[in-house]
Chain A
Amino acid sequence: MKNIFLFIRRYFTFLSFLLLQVVSIILLSNASKTHEAFFSSSVNEVTGNFNQGYNNLRGYFGLKEINRQLAEENARLKNMLSSNFQASDTSVKTIIDTLVRDTLGRSRKFTYLPAHVVNSSYTLQSNFLTLERGAAQGVKKGMAVTGPQGIVGVVVEVSPNYSRVMSLLHRNSKVSAMMKKDNSAGSVEWDGVDPSHLILRNVTKGSKVAVGDTVLTSNYSANFPPKLIIGTVAGISSEASSNFYTLKIKTATNFFNVQYVYLIENVRYAEQMQLETSQPKTP
């Protein structure tokens, strides 16, 4: 017994070094296993508060660009107003207002919540954004996040007033995508090389891909609504041994200056997840 104490006393520094290393590695492996930022909500609140203060200052420098983006989006939305469409007298085409559709029994599936970005990173291998909107304001884990120009990421961690988003620029990020041209599906990942380019895998070689084609979110995604812009094809590489293209995608979102985003809630997300994870009964 005495020898054990002597041993511990003698190698105390080394043992504490080993202990701290093990703690760090456990923290890290927990975090990447669950694809989540492994933080207590309280820490999230503290860093969030700090980032909010800093962001108030920094926001002024981006106001012009944000204005342009919002004006552009407004213009696009105004173009879709039903008052802009006039049925000509001879036409048989009828315009159906969305409100009318809803009373015809179509129920809402996606809701959009605006949020302010208070922190974002793009220089690391695993990048996150922090939004100033949390569980108290209706944010849930797994909600999709899109910017004015294109999609941004998925919510992985929620505290009462802040939420953390795993950006598309994360080595664990994976989003189901399709080509706009012929709906052939694939999945978008990031290889950690360049923050303005993503990688789209598993697009079949039967699809006629060209540089400049638009890539959208697919119908198969549970959290993203279909047909949101992800980016455009910037490069095509095909290996002879594979049946699939590996495409380089220029992101539609400029991750360097994201300031306002929309959180998208799929009202039937829980229902779909429950059905998909339940074990089918074998007859």
Chain B
Amino acid sequence: MSSLLKNMIRFVLFILFQVVILNEVPPLHQFIVPYVYFLFLLWLPFSINRFLLLVIAFLFGLTLDFFTGTPGLHAAPCVLIAYIRPYLLNLIIPQETTEQSYLEPSPRNIGWAPYGLYVGLLSFAHHFYLVLIEWLQFGNFLFFIGKVLGTTGISLLLIFITELLFNRKGKHRTNAA
């Protein structure tokens, strides 16, 4: 399957999963909101153009916003992590070997520890920014700190489970692709 088609299907599935299942989960606590939709952005291929990445992230976030009724609230953090992503990948991954031989980031391709760091930092950045925007609207510092930590924790747990469930094969990049 071509990378474009695969990512288009993922786009739809991630949005549906977030809207239809995770947003319907009864809240356990004020601080805990399950978010995994942004994993779509983390799974995009290494070789993607930076500008294209930003535009995709914006559209992706806005699509979710159409369902939740908060235009811009999810789009802004998505654009932020899309902007940070290439820099972070450059930092934590040995470029010559990985980027040339693999298509997209996954624990198998780059190892569990660097992948964990990658996912952890980006989901923290996402939630930090998301809750910051909410906080500027409503205000309460304890709410801010608690929600960032609680939401990041639950997101990491869900992402970990997703990675175990969908064991994406470490596909090698071919000359033909």
Contact = CB atoms under 8 A, between A and B. Distances in A.
Interface of A: 12-14, 16-17, 20-21, 23-28, 30-32, 37-39, 43, 46-47, 51, 54, 119, 121-128, 164, 171, 192-195, 256
Interface stretch (B103-111, B116-124, B131-139, B153-161): B131-139
A122 to B, nearest CB: 7
Given A13-B50, A20-B79, A256-B26, A27 B71 contact: yes
B51 A12 contact: yes
Nearest to A164: B69
B44 interface: no
A51 B16 CA distance: 11
Given A27-B71, A31-B72, A123-B23, A192 B51 contact: no
B27 interface: yes
A124 B76 contact: no
Secondary structure call for the B interface: helix
Contact of B80 (A21, A46, A126, A128): A21
Contacts of B61: 24
A251 to B, nearest CB: 14
B26 A126 contact: no
Secondary structure call for the A interface: helix
B69 A171 contact: no
Contacts of A123: 23-27, 33
B interface, size bucket: 20 to 34
13 contacts: A14-B83, A17-B79, A21-B79, A23-B58, A23-B72, A31-B71, A38-B71, A39-B71, A47-B66, A123-B25, A125-B137, A127-B69, A195-B27
Interface of B: 20, 23-27, 30, 33, 50-51, 54-55, 57-58, 61-62, 66-73, 75-76, 79-80, 83, 133-134, 137-138, 143
A121 B51 contact: no
Contact of A16 (B26, B27, B51): B51
A192 B68 contact: no
Nearest to B80: A21
Given A28-B133, A123-B27, A125-B134, 13 more contacts: A16-B54, A31-B71, A31-B72, A39-B69, A119-B67, A121-B23, A121-B68, A123-B24, A123-B25, A124-B68, A171-B137, A194-B30, A195-B27
Contact of B70 (A14, A16, A124): A124
Contact of B76 (A25, A46, A126): A25
A43 to B, nearest CB: 5
Nearest to B137: A32
Q: Which 10 A-B pairs have the closest CB atoms?
A: A28-B72, A27-B72, A24-B76, A24-B72, A128-B69, A27-B71, A24-B75, A17-B83, A20-B79, A37-B69
B26 to A, nearest CB: 6
Contacts of A30: 71
Contacts of B76: 21, 24-25, 28
B89 to A, nearest CB: 14
Most chain A beta-carbon neighbours within 10 Å: one of B24, B26, B71, B83: B71
Contact of B20 (A46, A54, A195): A54
Given A25-B76, A27-B71, A28-B72, A39 B66 contact: yes
Contacts of B54: 13, 16-17, 20
Contacts of A194: 30
A31 B138 contact: no
A24 B62 CA distance: 9
Given A17-B54, A20-B54, A125-B134, A26 B20 contact: no
A127 B33 CA distance: 14
B58 A28 contact: no
A171 B30 CA distance: 14
A121 B33 CA distance: 12
B71 A20 contact: no
